[in-house]
Amino acid sequence: MDDLLSEELRLLRQSIRDIVRDRVAPRASDVDRERDYPEDIFEVFRDQGILSLPFSEAEGGSGAGTAGLAIAVEEVARACATSAQILVLTALSTWPLRIAGSDHFRDAIEGVATGQSRGAFALTEPNASSDLGSLVTRARRTGDGGYVLSGEKDFVSGSTVADYFVVFAKTPTPSAEDEMSCFVVETPHPGIIFLRRDEGMGIKGMPHCDWAFQDCHVTQEARVGDEGDGARIARHSITAIQPLLAARGLGSAEECLAFARDYAADRRIYGGRLADLQNVQLQMADIAINVEATRALTYAAGRLVDEERFFSEGDAAYIFAAKTMSAKTAVHAADRSMQIVGGHGYMEVHPLERMYRDARHLALYMGTDEVLRLQIASAVMDGGLPYGPSVSRQPTEERARPE
């Protein structure tokens, strides 16, 4: 299976694996229990150049792309989902700036690539998440060309440690329908008010917080892209990070399977090994099948993003397939592995208990399972998925059709 990855990515995996073993894995259970953002792990990622992986050299990065960052996320997620999520946010908070393509935000991107600053992505609202048309946060134009933001944003991950928020708000148009625009607001900033921290069932080291924007003045330069470009920027940014979320589920599932395998090999039952029971073997086989299918989809999805093939509906659908498959794989692997390990796996001292809780996040975050599947269905009806980066899509009319 080595040809799924280039030689560079295999070497990268090995170096990340060593860092994870020494610096991330020993902290994972404390990060979960203490519910504090792991600043020390962020510093490891910064000092080891892991934060810089997805960015080009011109952006201050090392040019490993999304495929490279996905390998890092996979390895980190084997140990600690919160820490893997730190890497996901690196990408999520900069894709809007990269997609808008303006030189104006070059310093901000370089700041994230070098670990000098961090961003947070503020799209979701109390009454608008999947249905982004319901967004109520408004950006009202002021006489000096700037804007005043008002509204509320929910579940903003990493926001207590962020140096800037990427905020999506409706801007007025001459027609009745306001359009979405995107802004970068440095924090702290007058008019951005902390409301509360939301405690979730998993990813407990990552602060997810709700914020109010009250008469929050920003300059025209804070706008990312053109007025009305926000929906496009949000959509493509969310698409571009899906391979990283898929990699998180992949790493988690691999580790769950490893726990189940090791336990089944050691545990004595009815005078033999637990692994000798066929039901246990079949469960491990099912996890392994899902893991390998997820791996193929995930690595291919990462390459699609690096080839900048995530703007079309068909390519995006392939990328969504990786994330939806991975979210299911991660939950299934955690659930079945816990079943194999039995009561020990249910106890807080066992990593499976944490991994089970962390895995559930994936089917909700940045595109719920249902919303992504609907987009995949739409692409299917529109001619199909591209079958990954190496095979181009055959136009419908060129395919042999039954008479």
Ligand X SMILES: Cc1cc2nc3c(=O)[nH]c(=O)nc-3n(C[C@H](O)[C@H](O)[C@H](O)COP(=O)(O)OP(=O)(O)OC[C@H]3O[C@@H](n4cnc5c(N)ncnc54)[C@H](O)[C@@H]3O)c2cc1C
**Binding residues vs ligand X (CB under 6 A):** 121-124, 129-130, 155-157, 200, 203, 208, 361, 364-366, 368, 370-371, 374
Cα gap 44→49, rounded to integer Å: 8
Least separation in angstroms between residue 359's CB and ligand X is 12
| Pairing mode, strands 119-122 and 164-171 | parallel
Least separation in angstroms between residue 106's CB and ligand X is 23
Give whichever of 237 and 329 is closer to ligand X, judged by the CB atom: 237
Give whichever of 28 and 366 is closer to ligand X, judged by the CB atom: 366
Least separation in angstroms between residue 196's CB and ligand X is 14
Six token digits for residue 12: 């990268």
Cα gap 190→205, rounded to integer Å: 27
Cα gap 301→297, rounded to integer Å: 6
Burial grade of 293 (CB within 10 A; 0-12, 13-18, 19 or more):
middle
Rounded to whole angstroms, what are the CA distances from 20 to 80, 90, 158? 9, 18, 21
Least separation in angstroms between residue 357's CB and ligand X is 11
Least separation in angstroms between residue 288's CB and ligand X is 28
Least separation in angstroms between residue 122's CB and ligand X is 6
Give whichever of 114 and 129 is closer to ligand X, judged by the CB atom: 129
Give whichever of 67 and 76 is closer to ligand X, judged by the CB atom: 76
Least separation in angstroms between residue 123's CB and ligand X is 3
The DSSP H or E segment spanning 283 is: helix 278-306
Cα gap 152→159, rounded to integer Å: 14
Residue 380: half-sphere exposure toward Cβ, Cα within 13 Å:
8
Give whichever of 124 and 239 is closer to ligand X, judged by the CB atom: 124
Cα gap 230→224, rounded to integer Å: 8
Give whichever of 90 and 283 is closer to ligand X, judged by the CB atom: 90
Six token digits for residue 313: 């509906």
Give whichever of 67 and 316 is closer to ligand X, judged by the CB atom: 316
Residue 185: half-sphere exposure toward Cβ, Cα within 13 Å:
29
Which positions ≥6 away from 271 have C-beta within 8 Å? none
